[in-house]
Structure 1
């Protein structure tokens, strides 16, 4: 197509020149005049070809830019639509995860914390469904005693006493051990032990490294935690602390300032 266009332009550019020559008459055309005529024709042809090529390239670039812009707009719309669908899918997944996983987990955690709080405060009766007022007095009394026994079993409480113990069996003040005198901060071979209680309080006391490890149990008894119901464990790594009377604090691994955790033992029936 381009070759045909060039040939057509060549003939169109040559026609005016031929007409002018014919109006002058038909002179004797020599070789020199013929060459000049051909040069003019080729010069005009080159000029027209240059103009046409520049115009064609400009038109093509303009069309290609328009097509590129349209394609870009289509791609942007397509990408926005895809991103919107992905966001909606992610939002649905997040809502399902919150509804099916996080919410039940939080409710179960809150329920366990509530049960532990009522057990620690001695209000385990709040966890039961209760009993209706009225009805047979004997039946209500029996169900009340049954619920008390179940609450005591779940809380691992000792059985209620029906008789008061004799004064000879009651513990005396002599059963509470005495602690050694607390050394000063400037003393050598001194270690500070922090005791984290179940109530959340943290008690601190200084001991000599050469003290018997039994002094930790005596300290527990002194602040009101019996060794039959509570035990000691290290904070990190979490493991029970082996306390024996023949070993010192340094022997059981307490050579620097240490935090110990006071935990309630699991009661067995």
Structure 2
């Protein structure tokens, strides 16, 4: 019992000291919390200033470096386009009306006249339009084409098959008697739309012009078997 009383007295005597220590520790805790809050605010402020500095730096880079580079690249593309199209006069600066020659560029003083001069010269050097085709070179009318003889049957004797290879790529075939006049070939060519004034006939092999005369038959011209003839355009003389 005595020991318990002594312990109780010790606790009672130590209680004021414990309360004093607790009172001292509470301000320290409050101070630490305020210090932590202040540090956090300072860090947020520092981060905000860094972000603002980065944004300002990026804006200066875009304005001073990137934008001028893009404008220069666009200007070069525009100059190249006008040089290709022959409209380089669009690259020059104009002048206000009523300036009376003040501050005019070299293009404004003489470019317009030079442009007119070049236009006139180019028009003067243009080739003259082709003259109207003479009546002899025009396609024949139906009246100019002579009638062709009737095509003999396949079973007839002394016949030959002639094929015409046209410039369009088509191939036409027809049977003739070997005794027919050689002029019938020219009549046939004219009937299908190739006038003798602009086109001629040639043998395929060997390649040579076909000789056609009024008194000659197909046999006289050398056409004694099935033959392929080529319709060729004549060289037009100036």
Q: TM-score, normalised by structure 2?
A: 0.46
Q: TM-score, normalised by structure 1?
A: 0.41
Larger relative contact order (CA 8 Å, sep ≥ 6) = 2
Considering fraction of residues, name the structure with more helix: 1
